[in-house]
């Protein structure tokens, strides 16, 4: 078997109550993962964390039963950010970390993702092994081998201390007023404490989960609530996380919203200011060209990975680099954490602000994002757009016109018969005209 049936680019995800997000599948999944783990460890132990969705209770119970039935011990953290689970899995010397979350999706969705003993996302080969085990008959542990379960004392407190340790010991956030928006998600009881304990005055929004309101009009995917709160409270900055707190958006006092591309540049520039070597940075196919040019102007090589923080991480590991990210706010600083972490990334940006003594906007002087036009074009299912001569000719003509001062990206959607046409140029009208020209040639 070479094609994954359940795992996508970031674990397993779907609508609760529909396959595969059902309690019977989750029991089978826990059992299958447990059997894979037992190939390498006689008595494996796993950590299960979750976000604040009401369905997390059901899924947690089913997974716990599945693991126990395969002879795997289970530790339960309760609500905890995805990167917090990755950290504790490594810190507690466990065999696997399990996160119950659908990240930025609405509450009626949920999902599962896994971390290795070293706190990193697992490779395709491991996921394929789990899917193969799902097809096998169960092998229930006998009564003397059934796994045990227990709660982890102060999981959130341990993670708070880890986040604080990523911030420079000679700096603090004293005198800074921050609005912290946790999207009513997994960081609701963690993120405000981190910034407060580093000295900031913290105003909380999106920190009152009820099981149904995760990502609902708040958080990194709905930053207007943060913009309004920063203005209303006359704060210096606003920090917005998503439901599982691995993605970040920042707003300044003027209401300017900074995306992941800009924040990646700030993180690189701060390392250079400190005299550190930055051998390169990784973005994605969607990273704004202005950031690529700005990094190259500072002597920092830039490489594009496929869209998705998983692929950014793979590229960083392959090259031995530490800084990468994508515009959505997934940022990686591998010398601070093994995975993307919204809180740690925010601290890296605030550290740059504190160290430089300049506002965030000033740290991005000369970096003006190129306008992008994105057009979705429906195509016939199964049509091979790569062999279209009119499309190839239109793309070549636009690229000649841009003459290195812009960029064309054409890629197929992974979920629907749609071709995504993106053109980036210094001039917004030129980007729009060029994208329309290419889209017209897709028919």
Which of 327, 333, 361, 357 has its CA nearest to residue 346? 333
Assess contact for 337 and 83: CB atoms under 8 A: yes
Assess contact for 244 and 99: CB atoms under 8 A: yes
Q: Tell which CATH architecture fits domain 158-255.
A: 3-Layer(aba) Sandwich (3.40)
**pLDDT for res 415:** 62
Residue of 69, 77, 103, 166 marked active site: 103
Which of 324, 215, 310 has its CA nearest to residue 261? 324
Give how far the C-alpha of residue 114 lies from the chain's centroid of Cα atoms, to the nearest Å.
13
**pLDDT for res 414:** 65
**70, burial (CB in 10 Å: exposed 0-12, middle 13-18, buried 19+):** buried
Cite the residue boundaries of each domain of the chain with CATH code 3.40.120.10. Answer: 12-153, 158-255, 258-363
As a whole number of angstroms, the distance between CA 255 and CA 20 comes to: 41
Per CATH, domain 372-440 is 3.40.50.1820: no
103 is catalytic: yes
Query: Taking the alpha carbons of 378, 382, 388, 392 in that order, is the dihedral positive or negative?
Result: positive
DSSP 379: -
Q: Tell which CATH architecture fits domain 12-153.
A: 3-Layer(aba) Sandwich (3.40)
**pLDDT for res 123:** 87
Token pair in block for residue 241: 């996380």
As a whole number of angstroms, the distance between CA 104 and CA 109 comes to: 10
**281, burial (CB in 10 Å: exposed 0-12, middle 13-18, buried 19+):** buried
CA dihedral 76, 79, 80, 82 (to 10 degrees): 90
pLDDT tens for the chain, 443 residues long, are: 457 799 987 899 999 999 999 999 999 999 999 999 999 988 999 999 999 999 999 999 999 999 999 999 999 999 999 999 999 999 999 999 999 999 999 999 999 999 999 999 898 899 999 999 999 999 999 999 999 999 999 999 999 999 999 999 999 999 999 999 999 999 999 999 999 999 999 999 999 999 999 999 999 999 999 999 999 999 999 999 999 999 999 999 999 999 999 999 999 999 999 999 999 999 999 999 999 999 999 999 999 999 888 899 999 999 999 999 999 999 999 999 999 999 999 999 999 999 999 999 999 999 999 999 999 999 887 778 989 999 999 999 999 999 988 999 998 876 678 899 999 999 999 999 999 999 999 86
Cite the residue boundaries of each domain of the chain with CATH code 3.30.310.50. Answer: 372-440
CATH number for region 258-363 = 3.40.120.10
Task: Show Cβ contacts of residue 286 under 8 Å, excluding neighbours closer than 6 positions.
Answer: 307, 326, 327, 409, 422
């Amino acid at each position: 078997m070479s094609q994954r049936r359940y795992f996508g680019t970031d674990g397993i995800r779907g609508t609760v109550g529909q396959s595969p997000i059902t309690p019977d599948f989750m029991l089978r999944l826990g059992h299958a993962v447990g059997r894979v783990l037992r190939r390498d460890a006689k008595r494996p132990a796993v950590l299960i964390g979750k976000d604040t969705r009401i369905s997390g209770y059901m899924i947690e119970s089913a997974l716990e039963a599945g693991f126990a039935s395969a002879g795997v011990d289970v530790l339960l953290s309760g609500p905890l950010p995805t990167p917090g689970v990755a950290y504790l899995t490594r810190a507690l010397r466990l065999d696997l970390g399990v996160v119950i979350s659908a990240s930025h999706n609405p509450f009626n969705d949920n999902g599962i993702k896994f971390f290795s003993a070293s706190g990193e996302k697992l490779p395709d080969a491991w996921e394929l092994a789990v899917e193969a085990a799902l097809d096998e008959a169960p092998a229930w542990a006998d009564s003397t081998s059934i796994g045990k379960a227990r709660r982890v004392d102060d999981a959130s407190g341990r993670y708070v201390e880890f986040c604080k340790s990523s911030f420079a010991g000679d700096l603090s956030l004293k005198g800074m007023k921050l609005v912290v928006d946790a999207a009513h998600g997994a960081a609701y009881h963690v993120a405000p404490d981190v910034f407060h304990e580093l000295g900031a005055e913290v105003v909380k929004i999106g920190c009152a989960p009820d099981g149904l309101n995760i990502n609902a009009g708040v958080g990194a995917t709905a930053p207007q609530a943060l913009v309004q709160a920063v203005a209303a409270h006359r704060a210096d900055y606003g920090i917005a996380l998503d439901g599982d707190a691995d993605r970040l958006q920042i707003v300044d006092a003027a209401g300017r919203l900074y995306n992941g591309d800009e924040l990646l540049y700030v993180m690189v520039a701060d390392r250079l200011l400190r005299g550190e070597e930055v051998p390169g940075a990784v973005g994605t196919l969607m990273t704004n060209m202005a950031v690529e040019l700005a990094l190259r102007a500072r002597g920092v090589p830039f490489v594009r990975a496929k869209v998705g923080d998983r692929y950014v991480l793979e590229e960083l590991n392959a090259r031995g680099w530490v800084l990468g990210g994508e515009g959505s706010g997934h940022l990686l600083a591998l010398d601070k954490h093994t995975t993307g972490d919204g809180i740690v990334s925010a601290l890296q940006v605030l550290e740059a602000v504190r160290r430089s003594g300049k506002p965030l906007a000033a740290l991005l002087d000369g970096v003006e994002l190129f306008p992008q036009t994105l057009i979705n074009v429906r195509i016939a299912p199964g049509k091979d757009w790569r062999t279209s001569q009119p499309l190839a000719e239109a793309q070549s003509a636009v690229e000649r016109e841009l003459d290195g001062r812009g960029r064309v990206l054409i890629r197929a959607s992974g979920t629907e018969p749609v071709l995504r046409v993106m053109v980036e140029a210094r001039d917004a009208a030129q980007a729009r005209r060029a994208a329309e020209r290419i889209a017209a040639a897709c028919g």
